[in-house]
Amino acid sequence: MSKFNRVLVVEDELTNAILLKRILLREGYTVTVVNNGLDAKQLLERDTFDAVLTDWMMPQMDGIELIKFIRENIKPNPLVIMITALVSESAKIYALESGADDYIAKPIDVDEISIVLNDGLNRLLQVSEANKVTSHTTGEAKTLPPFAAVAIAASTGGPPTLLEVFRNIESNTKAVFFVVQHGPAWMLETFAQRLLKETGFNVQLASNFVTPVLGNVYLAPGDKHLSIDPISYKMLLDEGPKENFVRPAADPLFRSVAKAFGRYCVAVVLTGLGKDGSQGLTHIANAKGTIIIQDPSTAIAPSMPQAALNTVSNFRKIAAKNIGRAISEAVFPLAASIKINT
């Protein structure tokens, strides 16, 4: 058991509240139960919890209102998991975009609760520990790549932030975009379609052994790490161990992009829980790539960008609304250099 062990359960249905409490007590957590969002809000204003497990439909204040309150007012942010019988894709997406770190459908699955809570709390533990920067020997790519690469990492609060970023990237930005957004397969499939519809970019889930096309956006699919082969530049998918307690993870993508593209890459860390991407950024930095980090004060969940700021020294810290334009500005000289030298 990590040092994180205080869990607040917000559930108005007595049977589910009792079941959740029994599960969590058996796992060794200290558990407090309230039966509506307003009581939870008042408790969070005067006490500290490491995780909040909340139902959606409740009297006085529902789960969505509670999540938004937590993200805007409670620092440091606890892990927030929505547990609800509302299981439509639109409901799940709305919960995640409102700031939930994860989403579990009722009826409650004991093993799922245990895994999701444990992995989430371990991601919080990563951020609370002192960040240690590891020295790497990654250098510039030995050959000129066929195109510039933009690699983006996002987690909690990522979908609306990514939509804002891509809406502000100039359409003539000559790069290939690789995106790791933490989340289950169903969410990533749906989000790829939404990103395609709302930004004008050609967006698709990444496929194994496929060569990227200039201007396209490739989203890592659910439960698979995405990396780039440094020789062929094809996309590679694998089901290797979780990194930073997530799969897909940004660190494998950042490491591979640094090796394949050297200084012709731009790495971006956006809102999220945990510190995924931070160690990968050290490879980007050593390869002389460009690093853009979302200003944590503009992030729905600030821990991922804050961990990135604490890990590397050469970066641009930018508010979410300006990141798209910053990406375009970073890519233009890289793309021009590739064109001139090929």
Chain-centroid distance, C-alpha 228: 19
Of 39, 55, 98, 155, which residue is the catalytic one? 155
> What pLDDT does 131 receive?
43
Contact present, 247 and 255 (Cβ < 8 Å): no
Hey, which bits of 6-50 come out as E strands? 6-10, 30-34
Amino acid letter, residue 120: G
Least Cα distance to 149 among 205, 94, 68, 214 occurs for 214
Neighbours of 222 (CB within 10 A): 17
What CA–CA distance (Å, rounded) separates 9 from 32?
A: 6
Mean model confidence pLDDT for the chain: 92
Q: What is the DSSP letter of 296?
A: G
Q: Work out the angle at residue 80's Cα, subtended by the Cα atoms of residues 57 and 167, and round it to the nearest 5 degrees.
A: 95
For 226-266, what is each residue's pLDDT tens digit?
A: 999 999 999 999 999 999 999 999 999 999 999 999 999 99
Can you say whether the dihedral through the CA atoms of 56, 60, 65, 70 is positive or negative?
A: negative
Q: How far apart are CA 228 and CA 216, in angstroms?
A: 15
Three-state DSSP state, 181: strand
What is the per-residue burial (b if ≥16 Cβ within 10 Å, else e) of 200-211?
A: ebebbbbeeeee
Counts of helices then strands in the chain (DSSP H, E)? 11, 14
Find the catalytic residue in 50, 62, 102, 182.
182
In angstroms and rounded to an integer, the radius of gyration of the C-alpha atoms of the chain is: 20
Active-site residue 155, yes or no? yes
Q: How far is CA 218 from CA 184, 193, 275, in A?
A: 16, 12, 22
d(CA 308, CA 324): 18
* Phi, then psi, of 256 in degrees rounded to 5: -70, -35
Separation between Cα atoms, residue 16 and residue 22, nearest integer Å: 10
What gap in Å lies between CA 209 and CA 193, rounded to an integer? 22
The two tokens of residue 310 are 């604490």
pLDDT tens-digit readout, 181-226 = 999 999 999 999 999 999 999 999 999 999 999 999 999 999 999 9
Q: Between these two residues, 303 and 342, which has the higher pLDDT value?
A: 303
Which residue type is seen at 333? P
% the chain with pLDDT above 70:
94
- What tokens appear for 75 in the block? 């620092």
- The yes-or-no answer on residue 182 being catalytic is yes
pLDDT at 334: 97
Q: What is the mean pLDDT of residues 39-61?
A: 95
Q: Would you give the end-to-end CA distance of the chain in angstroms? A: 55
Query: Who contacts 295 (Cβ-Cβ below 8 Å, separation ≥6)?
Result: 305, 317, 318, 319, 320
Q: In one letter, which amino acid is 92? A: K
State pLDDT tens for residues 184-195. Answer: 999 999 999 999
Our answer to whether residue 276 is catalytic in this structure is yes
Alpha carbon 85 to its chain's center: 24
Report the pLDDT value the prediction gives residue 1, as an integer from 0 to 100.
44
In the set 62, 102, 251, 276, the catalytic residue is 276
Cβ proximity of 56 and 82 under 8 Å: yes
Higher pLDDT, 5 or 47: 47
Cβ count within 10 A of residue 51: 22
pLDDT digits (tens, 9 = 90+) for 113-157: 999 999 999 988 876 653 444 434 444 555 799 999 999 999 999
Domains and CATH numbers, the chain: 6-128 (3.40.50.2300), 148-340 (3.40.50.180)
CA distance 5 to 282: 31
Give the rounded percent of residues in the chain with a pLDDT score beyond 90: 87
What is the pLDDT at residue 157? 95
